[in-house]
């Protein structure tokens, strides 16, 4: 997808996620395969026009009502492997709504790149690829990852934003994502799950300042009436 098309998809996904997070629901399996895009004018030539797109999140089979769920009863065997955040890969049951946000970040990468940057059939390999992709967490990260893995891993000292710039540059040296988009992905894919950007905060991110130019008018009016359009 183009950056504009991706922006429309991710924005509508965040609107949906923000809605069910407010209802104390964690989806726990956000990914493109569970994201439906309806083309309003399906008989027109507007198939590639994001103004014709209505995006919906499907398959709440792994969803959970979190309001009364205790850590000891949480299941860490959740989320399709490639979209699974590091805290879940470390078998933590202390996760929160931010697991959905990490999955949105990986989904955004896949929309733009056409592939998942941390794909593998094995949990340990996915985690290793995340560490290469994002670098080793700093000392402020939760102790869980450090206790389990830090002592055995090489030190990947990388500039995370520079790494994202490299990843989102095509073979001709052209950037396929703006600096604002890179910043949002960086916040989506934060190791610090306790302070990872929320869906509501992400909807206010500067990357979405021009999203109104690319949204269906009825949909934009709905968001405004709902109080979840912030520009």
**Distances 63 to 11, 66, 81, 100, 229 between C-alpha atoms, Å:** 21, 9, 16, 10, 26
Q: Which of 29, 159, 183, 218 is catalytic?
A: 29
Nearest to 205, CA basis, from 188, 220, 223, 226: 188
Q: In the numeric block, which tokens belong to residue 90?
A: 């470390």
3-class secondary-structure state, position 37: strand
Nearest 5°: CA angle at 56, between 50 and 59? 145
**Beta pairing partners, 57:** 35
The answer to whether 66 is a known catalytic residue is no
**Distances 99 to 74, 103, 155 between C-alpha atoms, Å:** 13, 7, 25
Nearest 5°: CA angle at 29, between 202 and 111? 60
As a 3-state breakdown, the chain gives helix, strand, coil percent values, each rounded to 5, of 50, 5, 45
Nearest to 92, CA basis, from 21, 20, 141: 141
Four-residue CA torsion sign, 76, 79, 82, 84: negative
Q: Point out the residues that are catalytic.
A: 29
């Amino acid at each position: 997808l183009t950056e504009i098309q991706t922006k429309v998809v991710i924005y509508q996904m965040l609107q949906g996620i923000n809605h069910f997070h407010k209802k104390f629901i964690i989806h726990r399996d956000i990914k493109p395969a569970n994201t439906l895009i309806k083309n309003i004018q399906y008989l027109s030539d507007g198939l590639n026009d994001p103004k014709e797109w209505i995006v919906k999140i499907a398959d709440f089979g792994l969803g959970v009502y979190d309001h009364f769920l205790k850590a000891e009863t949480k299941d860490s065997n959740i989320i399709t492997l490639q979209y699974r955040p590091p805290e879940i890969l470390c078998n933590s049951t202390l996760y929160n709504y931010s697991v959905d946000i990490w999955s949105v970040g990986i989904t955004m990468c896949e929309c733009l790149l056409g592939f998942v940057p941390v794909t593998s059939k094995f949990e340990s390999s996915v985690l290793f690829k995340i560490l290469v992709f994002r670098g080793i967490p700093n000392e402020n990260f939760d102790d869980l990852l450090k206790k389990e893995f830090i002592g055995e891993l090489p030190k990947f000292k990388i500039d995370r934003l520079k790494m994202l710039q490299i990843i989102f540059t095509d073979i001709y040296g052209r950037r396929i994502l703006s600096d604002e988009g890179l910043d949002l992905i960086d916040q989506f894919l934060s190791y610090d799950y306790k302070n990872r950007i929320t869906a509501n905060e992400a909807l206010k991110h500067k990357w979405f300042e021009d999203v109104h130019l690319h949204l269906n008018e009825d949909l934009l009016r709905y968001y405004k009436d709902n109080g979840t359009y912030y520009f």
